[in-house]
Structure 1
């Protein structure tokens, strides 16, 4: 028995007025002067009602035939429609009792409320409270794009409803055919305000087969966060076997949550992954703890710990980032749980900084502690030198206003000439981690000073920046040098001049109006030679030789090495920019360095005697909306051969269609070809048929992946390849991912993921793998589901 309706308050005065106006067409006893009164005009365009001063919106009824009794009842037939604020109710027959505020609708009843739609044969509802009962309705939910049906739907208000013997799916409704997937439940409670659903006696069926059942289940109605069990994670690889994990998400507060994932690996055993996230006013971060108490393959426990935190303490900002693992082979066996971009080198870094802006410039005071964990392994040929740790690093940096802009080659157009400069003073204690190779030189202490003065000049189309700088360092070493000294120092000055022009003209390219620029640039540098071969090298590394580094005064990053360089870099870049869209269509560039004397402090330790450096060439083109291409080439003029080259091209003719090709070559080092793609291979795409077209058997097949092949080693390197099947309301992804873990070792993982559009994603996170590896990849259901691309 449905519960009895409560007696409502009388309808407000605006409702009675509206009913009276609607009844004029049927009342013949009204005075003729009423014909010139305010007419009601129906509209299919809804707008939010004005609610100033707490006044309720008017209730309006229209139909082919209306009979009404003032302040009592109105009956409408023939396309009856009732409007109340954002509620639109249509039916074949409608009866409204003014005193009770009760509407009864029969025959093809439809409710449209805030984009949610309900249709069925019989409805009884208190209109102003949106409270009532709908028999055997079908429904559509705007938040998820899904639909369902039930024996009875009861409305508590416009945001809360209960469905008895209900079902839900995002698949299109087809007569006499079950949807490809659906959730059925004895009772289904939906809280649209909180984007939350609860189901009792719930069963999830896919293609008619039950794949998940629970006495009670809660789920979000959108991508909003909600506590509860998440879909299971399924992974399969050749090192750990089949892994099954079931995450539980706890939404503690708007700024805090926890995810705990118990898992089991067929080869290794049982473990748990956990993640804690927090976002406080002065602190934000994440803590990850992954634990495998007993690895059956190794006979011991294994773990990983990750700490990430940013915050402030008074005027100081701080940042903590740390990652540690239990053993040297963790990155091979459990690579999915490693975040470091250098999987064999784990960093722990804590830094503090205070930034003060004054009228004349900026003062930065900073401190830092940096530690390393190196995963060396037992293969002596695969071991590597560890970077030095900083324990601690303390410094102060003073720069004048706009100095950073000068360092970034800012063109000071229209500015008056003035001196600008900066000074950095810093102390470091360097040492080695316990996992470092025994042959590495021990650490020590270093104090350094870096300073410069510049006088930038410029106009609207040119700049001229002379600059004098110095690099001074003093060392106190743990192990004496070859000459017996444990202390050493040096000071190295540098003079540089950066000069460039920008010329522009209007032209055409392939019949399109363009603005072409010609940007020549000269960079002169003079750094005298200072012997640094006996000094330690704690943090210096060679810069990559490219279009940016050739315009710098030092070929090394860090402090401990300064290249002796007396040279002039000469280059030019020309760009073609569409005057209609402002988009760069074509770019060509070339640059080369000329040495005035031999260079002795070099990245490889060998003196450079040739006067002309390698020639750098670059080109990029976007001549058509479907095509992108770019390339760089390093050419040796003495041998007339290329040293390094990169060629890339991408073709994207439409949605979910992209193919990219890349070729990378470094003489005597590597030669690699890469192909990446996402492309339909069979069937008509859902985007062409409409999201609600077809059935589960009429979807489209896609292929996606990235394959890297080493021409030098004649083998595949890191690669991923898979297939996707898009049925409209569900998407299936499966494929293989191959990761190199050594000279002759690989880890091959199988990916299998089922996405129920509008509900969730089950299985391994193949979606994230494809997005990370395929340039231009798009999620097939991106226009049909609010869910995140990176759900587990």
Structure 2
């Protein structure tokens, strides 16, 4: 019979001092003539969150000591688990001696020892110990273990200190270390060596990365990563810091190698801050020593860099934005001085709801400036522009389900041009437009399936006019024709080029939504004008009197699969642009793919034909094995761009990642390169990372 021995706590002054928090439960309890309390059978003791279970506990009142007979199990509030054959501990279950014991930390790392000494100060010493996170099967050695003469666990500092340690693989000693310090699995951030990575590259040679993490307080840290390779010497510095109002991350790469003379560098940084009055400030920094350093060290595939400083404020009634950006080109044959390299912009927009006559009124003021330093007038032209605009729109029901949308827009701009004698120094311009849109959504409920179909014909008619001098088209060179721009007044992305004349948009949208969440939608449309729109690229015929046909469809086939298609083509079905995206996510496979096609253009900008396909796949072959593959292929050039394959293997105590990649970029500055990578991580010592053990059968 189980008895609660709270009445006998008077015999235990140390336990009684816990003000009722100490409890002892057992099948049988006796008190000897020597004033010793003995509890036998399913014994459980509780004190201040610590729980002890054993087959027998004897309390010696004169020595104020508990003698415990195993099998013993002790769990602490901090997540530690002790098992032992025998123990002598104090009544508070805090300090004492355990023999034939084992310590388990965070259900990941287990340390067996011939003896464990616990102190009340948060230190635990383990003598003749072996630490591993691998499953131990019978008397055989685990996959890996660290044997040491002594291990000290600092519960407060969450650190493990090994004395006279040796690392073993399947029982075979591999390396000996006189001293070793490792974080315990409960520590989120700790200074120390991170997972090394072996690599091999055509450009850099064979080497190893040795990242070392330095904790600089609770809100700052620094990761120092030296590269030791046969053809290069590289040092990476990654600094991070957070404040209550924001954060900063800065990565610096310093290198010397056989491909370039002198010091090579790349500086990549970003950050964001919250300022008073709901203002957000962010920045993005990108700077390199040469055009090839990003590709040589596999830092980025970017061929244009943009360093930006931006401040903005978003509210329900509008937004304000100020931004300055510096561009740098890494492309062959393109000069950074004529991009333009420096662009600044100011915007302020206010939205009034409801506005006049019950509609929505949008008021906007903006300004931008760009500076160049090129060799020709067009490449040296500096431009500043300031403008104000207003727009009003309203939707209302005018018949049996017919929705009439009305929209008015107007803007006034002033341009100031310098360093280009072919352009007026100051040129004003005004633009105004008006349009109406009719929508007639028709809904049908399917019988038997509870699915809903919606078919919606849409027709829009608009007119726009412009007065003043037309500026040089700097920001509307390559507009896109899609579902979002078919029925708008202005389909161009910038302010320099504005649509004029009469135009009409015709479209038809159909969608089907099932109760299980699967949806299918299709949009078809075309844009008609009274005249061609000059100074615009010919893509999708957006500037012609009759645009190409537009088809856009989206299919969501449940939570695990989605497909999107977009295409434009003329009456002879010659495709001018096409885009397809596939997303597939199942338990064993994740797959995403994309295809892009753009025909060559000669109007506005000289643009070569673009035809590319890319795929990204992850295949899980079971609880241990996984495969990853990424590829990008330039169909127009009939040449691959990049390919990468990786394999991962993990169990409860080891994670191994192997990768191979090939970059095919071949320019004057960059040669194609193949690289390999290998990293091995011992689970159980990764600060802040939970191990997810893969089930393993000891008989397998």
Q: Which position in structure 2 is the counterpart of 1:133?
A: 97
Structure 2 SS opposite 1:542: coil
The partner residue of 2:465 within 523, 528, 543 is: 528
Q: Which position in structure 1 is the counterpart of 2:80?
A: 116
Q: How does 1:45-84 map to 2 (within 5 A)?
A: 55-63=19-27, 65-68=28-31, 72-84=35-47
The partner residue of 1:514 within 432, 451, 456 is: 451
Report the Cα distance in structure 2 between the residues aligned to 1:71 and 1:440, rounded to whole angstroms.
105
Quote the offset at 1:604 in angstroms: 0.9
Quote the offset at 1:106 in angstroms: 1.7
1:387 counterpart = 2:313: no
**Aligned Cα root-mean-square deviation (Å):** 3.8
1:320 counterpart = 2:283: yes
Report the Cα distance in structure 1 between the residues aligned to 2:645 and 2:347, rounded to whole angstroms.
50
What TM-score do you get using the length of structure 1 for normalisation? 0.75
Quote the offset at 1:517 in angstroms: 4.1
Conservation of the 8 A alpha-carbon contact between 1:675 and 1:708: yes
What TM-score do you get using the length of structure 2 for normalisation? 0.84
The partner residue of 2:537 within 580, 593, 604 is: 604
Q: Which runs of 5 or more structure 2 residues have no equivalent in the other structure?
A: 601-608, 695-700
Report the Cα distance in structure 2 between the residues aligned to 1:635 and 1:536, rounded to whole angstroms.
28
Q: Which position in structure 2 is the counterpart of 1:552?
A: 488
Q: How does 1:505-654 map to 2 (within 5 A)?
A: 505-507=444-446, 513-528=450-465, 535-564=471-500, 566-579=502-515, 583=517, 585-601=518-534, 603-604=536-537, 608-611=543-546, 613-622=548-557, 628-654=561-587
Deviations 1:673-708 (A, max 9, x none): 444433355xxx33xxxxxxxxxxxxx543221233
Q: Which position in structure 2 is the counterpart of 1:305?
A: 267
Report the Cα distance in structure 2 between the residues aligned to 1:568 and 1:101, rounded to whole angstroms.
95
Deviations 1:344-381 (A, max 9, x none): 32222223346688xxx4563x44332222224xx54x
Deviations 1:97-137 (A, max 9, x none): 45665322123222233453222211112232522121121
Structure 2 CA distance for partners of 1:308 and 1:608, relative to 1, 3 Å = closer
Q: How many residues are aligned here?
A: 669
Deviations 1:633-681 (A, max 9, x none): 4242411243333444455442x43345554444562444444433355
Report the Cα distance in structure 2 between the residues aligned to 1:390 and 1:675, rounded to whole angstroms.
35
Conservation of the 8 A alpha-carbon contact between 1:161 and 1:189: yes
Structure 1 SS opposite 2:294: helix
Conservation of the 8 A alpha-carbon contact between 2:610 and 2:636: yes
Deviations 1:460-519 (A, max 9, x none): 98764422112432222223453x6333232221223355455555436xx754344445
Report the Cα distance in structure 2 between the residues aligned to 1:306 and 1:397, rounded to whole angstroms.
30
Report the Cα distance in structure 1 between the residues aligned to 2:681 and 2:252, rounded to whole angstroms.
28
Conservation of the 8 A alpha-carbon contact between 1:261 and 1:274: yes
Quote the offset at 1:718 in angstroms: 1.7
Structure 2 CA distance for partners of 1:232 and 1:782, relative to 1, 3 Å = closer
1:495 counterpart = 2:434: yes
Report the Cα distance in structure 1 between the residues aligned to 2:614 and 2:691, rounded to whole angstroms.
27
Structure 2 CA distance for partners of 1:732 and 1:130, relative to 1, 3 Å = same
Conservation of the 8 A alpha-carbon contact between 1:555 and 1:603: no
1:17 counterpart = 2:21: no
Structure 2 SS opposite 1:94: strand
Report the Cα distance in structure 2 between the residues aligned to 1:162 and 1:566, rounded to whole angstroms.
86
Quote the offset at 1:396 in angstroms: 5.0
Report the Cα distance in structure 1 between the residues aligned to 2:676 and 2:409, rounded to whole angstroms.
55
Conservation of the 8 A alpha-carbon contact between 1:571 and 1:589: no
Q: Which position in structure 2 is the counterpart of 1:374?
A: 329
Conservation of the 8 A alpha-carbon contact between 2:536 and 2:543: no
Structure 2 CA distance for partners of 1:565 and 1:522, relative to 1, 3 Å = same
Structure 2 CA distance for partners of 1:69 and 1:228, relative to 1, 3 Å = same
Report the Cα distance in structure 1 between the residues aligned to 2:36 and 2:473, rounded to whole angstroms.
93
Q: How does 1:474-489 map to 2 (within 5 A)?
A: 474-482=414-422, 485-489=424-428
Conservation of the 8 A alpha-carbon contact between 2:363 and 2:390: yes
Quote the offset at 1:325 in angstroms: 1.0
Structure 2 CA distance for partners of 1:297 and 1:309, relative to 1, 3 Å = same
